[in-house]
Chain A
Amino acid sequence: MIILRFRRIFLPYCFLFCCAAVVAQPIESSKWGKVSEEEVNMTQYAPYPAASAVVLQDVGTTVLKDLGDKWGVEFDRHRRIKIFDATAFDQGNLTIYYRTDPAIEKISDMEAQLILPNGERLKIKGDNIFTENVNPAWSVKKIFIPNLQPGSILEYRYHIHSENIVTLADWYFQSELPTRWSEFTTVVPIIFEYANLINRPKDFDLLESEETTSLAANGSRISAKMAHYGLSNLPPLKVEPFMTTIDDYKAHIGFQLSTINYTDRPTQRFMSTWENLARSLEGHEKLGYQYLKSARFEKAWQAFVDYVGPVSDKSIIPASVLKFVCSNIKWNGEYRMFMPETIDAAFERRTGSSADVNLTMVALLRKAGIDAVPVLISTRSHGSIHPQYPFYEQFNSVVAYIRQGSDTGILLDATDPFQPVNELRDQHYNGGGWQLDSKNPQWLVLHPPLISEVWYGNLRLFEDGSMTGKFTIEIEGPFAADWRHELEHKTPKQVLKKRFAASYPDVIYDSIVVTNQTAIVEPIQVGFKCRIPNTANALNNFLYCKPVLDFFMLENPFKSLKRIFPVNFPYFHRAHYILNLELPLGYTLVEVPPSEKIVLPHDGGKLAFSITQTGQRQVQLTLKMEISQLDFMPEDYDKLRQFFDLMVEKTQLQLVLQKS
């Protein structure tokens, strides 16, 4: 059981509120077609000479424009890329995505040109441009730049009109190419107030704001604020293991509308308080109404009542609801926070998104008299959360939460039938979640559970290198769900064979006993007798035996020599391997390797290894590993890498036996 506490949400990366202007070394962006001689002749980008292309400049502007009865968001972008060699020709396949549903965006004034190394300019004609309706929600303009040659500069610009003033399109200063200069400007009438969401690896090189005016629909001028943000010399970004979404790591800025201060009307608040946000979501057709209006889940409720029967002990209800929903609505793999149809419709469909399954639970729990609320979440691939700012767009999924007192409770996530109470799918562990309750909206720290794996063996080694005996594997936490999934449609023997096929293809299994296969709150145990050939090599009078048959990881996942970003594990881990080994008759252990123990910085994990001779022919080996911290900073990367190296080394360890 995880203990949940309310505390400050940990943010994986720096997150700053923009304030006073600091100007370092901004680079002047140049106009369309104004390409300097230096840019034409450039053969590499000095800060990142390995790059085959560089973004020379990427300049964006968003202007909020008065259209009379509504406001338009007018976004312009002008991007210029220098191609050094043919390996970057894929940069000549441009894609510009725009939304077609629910909000319609209009793209216009699209233009592209190529500046060849000899200075010749080629305007890209319409026959290189295609429009593709990717799916109902998105379309894309595809531009295939013809005539690309090494040394070319390509630049393109376009305009997107949208009417979504609530969330302005994020500006990403960084991409998979190095960026020499990226600049974003907003012109917003002063009646609008936006909250900025900023993520940047260093101080802005350009940060200025000034007062200006913009043209109103009736021809008058209205006061506006113009803000500039610029960053220079940004490194290219690449995905590495144990990251959340790469977008979290890119320098970017986002804008979320907080208020409109009309001069002639009362102020309209979009993001005033968490209470107000909660109130509006509770009144939302596709969210709050689902579990607050009981007409929407009459059938599901009736089915649940039939399923659970008369209940005398209320404490069994959470687990019953979880089981009932899991076995009646299968998660379809999608993360959502809104339901397009009613709970009863999802119930009849028998499949649904995370919103379908988890809001159904909230509805049933509440109806059963339990204090349950939805907890809104941003999944790991959706990006980091912003507890400073009450806006719902930062969330994309939901789980159920039962409150028990002020700082504890039970979490439920019906996206997996083998996930017990208080365990969420890994995508849902992304720092925290927000309890949707207008009376008491709260942030909740979501501590991922521990994954514990224990291997316990009592084996006897034979002269021919084989081992026989009993082995037990005990798994707790999300990995247990994996075992249970496999065991659902396969025999335990098939599952074991498959799991060990690569390392020990010829194991003979016998007397397999699976304990707690259906008792999902308990660790699952798989015990078996086995005969494992080839665990030791006999050479001359020696027998070299590799006693660690399986472990948490058999290879170090951290291959890079350096790391720029923090390592983020989705779970805590514990792995114990304990083996009591009986040596073959007539053999003695030549030497007992010394015990070893290492600890990660800040007590983030430990590894302990020991071998003891417990009898004349008895040896006990223990290998224990724990990772008790989720985030490791780049400066601790070396230590983390060594930790895994040592762990892998210990799994390869060998005992030396000699015939006496």
Chain B
Amino acid sequence: MSRPFRCQPIGGYLFMACLWLSLPVVAQEPNYAFNSISPDMTQNAHSVVRISETVYTIENDQEATEERTYVVTILSPEGKFERRAEEYENEFQEVKYMRGRLFDAGGNLIRESNKNDVRDFSASDQQGFNDLRVKVLEMDYNVFPFTIEYKTKLVFHNFLLARTFDVQKLGQSVEFASLSIVTPNDQNFKWKDLNVKIQPQRKTEGTQTSTYWAIRNLLAKPSEPFVPFFREELAQIIFAPEFMRMGDFSGSSRTWNEVGHFFYNLNVGRDVLSPTMAAMVQQMTQGMNTREKVDVLYRYLQENYRYVSIQIGIGGWQTFPASFVEQKRYGDCKALTNFMAAMLSAAGIPSYQALVFAGRMGAPILYEDMPAARFNHVILYVPSEKIWLECTSNNAPTGYLGNFTAGRRVLLLTPDGGNLLEIPALTEKDNTLLTHAEVTLSESGHATLETSQCATGEPHDRLRELVTKKKQADIERDFLENAPFGVGKLHTLNVAAVEKRPEVNTNYQLETNNYAVRTGKRLFVPVFKTNPFDRALPATERRNLDLRLRETYTLVDTIHFVCPTGFVTENAPNPIKLQSDYGLYELQVDQKPDQIWFYRRIEIYPLSTRAVHYEEVRKFYQALVKADGAQMVLVQE
């Protein structure tokens, strides 16, 4: 659909606060030996942070530096991502140095990095261009455990924006971590600690004030699947300077309103169309009501402009002017959104851009009291119609966002400043798959299938992408690859997207190679082979983290089996109904001697629940899988 633009300097950094310590760790001879780690710190851990010290200094209203020492003992291959230090560089952010030292289990120095060990790559993707470089330093060793010490220094030029400091990753314990934020006395900042409530110590010396957090001995939380996005359950500190700067632009982040002002001002006046284009917009939308105008212009954008990400310097945040997009017929998310807003404006329709953190996995929470700009994408809001537009999509129906951006808070940018707004999430009523199948079985277990399927919402996304971007031959190829049964002959396949709704209809007629399994006189017929329910949670002795499953949907199926001549039903699944807070499963059965109908309804609700309910949820899904896996047995008379 679309790709995020870069926004936040990327990289997991440290920090933390809990027990305040009067003195930073000063180790003349660091002891990095593995046996100096307390045994409880290795429980559930793939790595142990020995020392993590970050000093972030705002020198003045133009320059900031970040110095960091990070010492980590890697216990097992699962902790391998810690081998790598990665920093980004562009005109705002300079990597002064990256140095590494490697120690064996005994704490003996094995080697030190040299300049050539720091590799430099472009961070551009293949289909776009940006000036971001990535610098990578990787220290690897062959015997676990081993310890790596990294020292890095970053300098920010004309760039002051919110940062997030993580102290702990999943599967990692922390012996010591600290964060110092040093600012000129007149530079205030906001900060917010998550999952920890300890005040930092403040100290003013001359013209500078330092704020210092420190913590010791955090036990590891195990790395578990299905957890909230951005490790919300772990300790973090978010930081935002009240004086923001990006190149020549400055602003305030005291409130979300002011953050909104800043980003609005960055782009103000860049939404002017050429007179020709403005006239064309007028002409295209003449005599239409507002909704029709939006539809027509959005369709025009989708059909004529393509997504190309070009981001250089301030262009990572500031849009190309509308006239640029007009000439080139391409742009990134900011440029296409700005251009769409310009067209709407020419048609007399006000619209506002909204900053968002896009991604199918979710987004970091935007807290009312913590105006930190953590975004990677922009979309457009038309208030009069209360609709959202994803301007990088070439095929979305007007107003459909999908889970790339739905279900999260965004920052709306208006001339009066920023507003936090919630985009509703797609529900099980939006995400549906309705299937009607006629299955004619042969004696050998092969089957002829005649199926029609209607997908809406999330299940429709992939199909819309396929049907609007591929030709029939590729659609067939994709169908074969994804079919849950082996196809022998594909007679017809027709996939069609509904233009104005998030809906795709699929019809096919085919012969399968092995639908049912023939064993002697019997045929074993899986009932829902075309569309089995297969959600499963792994069994675990103890779940530690809260469980989050975002996916929600409804499946409704009618399947009609015609048995081969001479076969009768020996056994068929019984009707069943299972219901809980997590979902619904209902199966009804209708039988004649040589035919049988199954009606199935599954509703799966989104989940956000405490760890203690894990087993209950797991058992529920398991019961559904079992019920759904029930088979029909036919026997030859």
Q: Mark A334-355, 1 if CB is under 8 A from B, else 0.
A: 0000000000000011110000
- Contact present for B122 and A86 (CB under 8 Å): no
Known contacts A51-B471, A350-B141; A146/B310 CB under 8 A: no
User: Residues of B contacting A148 with CB < 8 Å?
Assistant: 306, 329-330
Whether A330 and B141, one on each chain, are in contact in the complex, defined by CB atoms closer than 8 angstroms, is: yes
Given contacts A348-B111, A560-B480, A594-B520, contact A539 B633 (CB under 8 A): yes
**At the interface, yes or no: B38 with Cβ under 8 Å from chain A?**
no
Which residues on the A side are within 8 Å of B142 (C-beta)? 327-330, 350-351
A32 to B538, CA, bound (A): 61
Contact partner of B328 (CB less than 8 A), chosen from A147, A327, A556, is: A147
Q: Bound complex: CA of A93 vs CA of B520, how far in Å?
A: 58
**Leading 7 A-B pairs by shortest Cβ distance:** A330-B142, A146-B328, A50-B473, A50-B471, A539-B571, A591-B520, A130-B129
State the interface size on chain A (CB cutoff 8 A): 64
Report B's interface with A, CB cutoff 8 A.
Answer: 76-78, 110-111, 119-122, 124, 126-129, 140-144, 303-304, 306, 308, 310, 327-330, 394, 445, 468-474, 477, 480-481, 483, 486-487, 490, 513-514, 517, 519-522, 524, 536, 538-539, 570-571, 622, 626, 630-631, 633
Q: Is the CB of B514 within 8 A of A645?
A: yes
Quote the shortest CB–CB distance from B535 to chain A (angstroms).
12
| A204 within 8 Å of B (CB atoms) | no
Given contacts A149-B304, A328-B142, A656-B633, contact A489 B520 (CB under 8 A): no
Which A residue's beta carbon lies closest to that of B621? A505
The verdict on A142 contacting chain B, using a C-beta distance below 8 Å, is: yes
Question: Is B517's CB under 8 angstroms from A649's CB?
Answer: yes
* B622 cross-chain contacts in A, Cβ below 8 A: 505-506
Chain A residues within 8 Å of B122, by CB: 132-135
Across the interface, do A92 and B306 meet the contact criterion of CB distance under 8 Å? yes
A537 to B629, CA, bound (A): 10
- Interface membership of A136, Cβ < 8 A: yes
Beyond A134-B121, A146-B328, A537-B630, is A86–B524 a contact (Cβ under 8 Å)?
Answer: no
How far, in whole Å, are A92 and B329 apart by their CA atoms in the complex?
Answer: 11
Say yes or no: B124 contacts A561, CB within 8 Å: no
Residues of B within 8 A of A515 (CB): none
Q: Which residues of A contact B141 (CB under 8 A)?
A: 330, 350-351
Partner of B477, one of A95, A136, A501, A560: A560
Using Cβ atoms and an 8 Å threshold, which residues of chain B touch A50?
471-474
Closest residue of chain B to A138 (Cβ to Cβ) is: B122
Identity of the chain A residue whose Cβ is nearest the Cβ of B76 in the assembled complex: A489
Check A534 against B471 for contact (C-beta < 8 Å): no
- Tell me whether A144 is interfacial, beta carbon within 8 Å: yes
Query: Contact at B633–A561, with CB atoms within 8 Å?
Result: no
Least CB distance from A413 to B in Å reads 16
**In the bound complex, CA of A50 to CA of B472 (Å):** 7
Q: A544 with B524: in contact, given A128-B328, A149-B304, A649-B517 (CB under 8 Å)?
A: yes
Say whether B77 contacts A561, CB under 8 Å: no
B-chain residues with CB within 8 Å of residue A642 when the two chains form the complex: 513
User: Are A505 and B539 in contact, CB atoms less than 8 angstroms apart?
Assistant: yes
Asked whether A86 lies within 8 Å of B394 as measured between CB atoms, the reply is yes
- Whether A144 contacts B310 by the Cβ 8 Å rule is yes
Q: Could you list 7 further interchain pairs (A-B, Cβ under 8 angstroms) beyond the known A144-B308, A649-B517, A655-B519? A: A87-B471, A148-B306, A350-B111, A537-B630, A559-B487, A560-B477, A648-B486
> Taking the nearest CB of chain B, how far is it from the CB of A3, in angstroms?
32
- When A135-B121, A351-B140, A592-B520 are in contact, do A95 and B126 touch as well, CB less than 8 Å? yes
Cβ-closest chain B residue relative to A136: B120
* List of A residues within 8 angstroms of B394 by Cβ: 86
Q: List 25 A-B contacts (CB under 8 A).
A: A49-B471, A50-B473, A87-B471, A128-B328, A132-B122, A132-B124, A135-B119, A142-B124, A144-B308, A144-B310, A146-B328, A351-B140, A351-B142, A489-B76, A506-B622, A539-B571, A544-B571, A559-B480, A560-B477, A592-B520, A594-B520, A645-B513, A652-B524, A656-B522, A656-B633
Q: Which residues of B contact A130 (CB under 8 A)?
A: 129, 310
Contact flag A561-B473 (CB < 8 Å), given A135-B122, A349-B111: no
